Amino acid sequence: MDEDEAATPYAARQRFWRGRDVAFTPVEPDDAELIHRWRADPVAAHEIGVWPGSLHELRERVEANAEDRHRDDFLVLLADGTPVGHIALIEEDFVDGTAEAYLLLAPEHRRKGIGADALEALTDLAFGELPLHRVEAVTHTDNAAALAVLSGAGFVREGVRRSSCLHRGRRHDSAVLGLLRAEWEALARPRSWEH
């Protein structure tokens, strides 16, 4: 299947939210195969600590997540409808005003500024539309690309969870970063609704 064929079903999908060059559409159960392929990438497995598991298990999780009122999952689409990633706000707690950001990009779409655009759009959603006060992100301390994207989006490194992740027989530290509403408000950049 070439890229045009892969994008065709997604071109007609409703765009829920927009960034500068990307748009979000809610994740559907039929998206499980696409997300499963992205999760099977060895770089993704190492850098964000995902384990691909079975497609059946992921499909069940995607279906369950759609009913979970404590998370919002989206596919990241380019203007032509090409799906390039999965982004989410997970563990949303509207009483405390907190959530965790999650981002997984397709291998062929990394290092092109898409992650930064998508993360900025996600924080605009979190603070501009949802009653959140704090968005957290966690990644390996040696995931330089993710740390740079998070820092560029205004996230502040707050600490390290020592030896918190096991991957290929080695323990890894995880960096904890956070973005507060006041810090987001102080960012001098266009917001999603201005694009």
Query: How much is the CA Rg of the chain, to the nearest whole Å?
Result: 16
Global confidence as pTM: 0.86
For 78, what's the count of Cα atoms within 13 Å in the CB-facing half-sphere?
15
Residues 6+ apart with CB under 8 A from 167: 45, 46, 49
Q: Structural domains in the chain?
A: 3-194 (3.40.630.30)
pLDDT at 61: 83
| Residue 47 CB coordination number (10 Å) | 20
- Reference 22, options 95, 87, 108, 70; nearest CA is 87
pLDDT at 1: 45
Three-class SS state of 150? helix
Distance CA 176, CA 178 (A): 7
Q: In the numeric block, which tokens belong to residue 128?
A: 């501009």
Query: What spatial distance separates the first Cα and last Cα of the chain, rounded to whole Å?
Result: 32
Instruction: State pLDDT tens for residues 139-169.
Output: 989 888 899 999 999 999 999 999 988 777 8
Q: In the numeric block, which tokens belong to residue 123?
A: 């924080």
pLDDT at 9: 73
pLDDT at 172: 85
Spans of the chain below 50 pLDDT: 1-2, 4-7
pLDDT at 7: 46
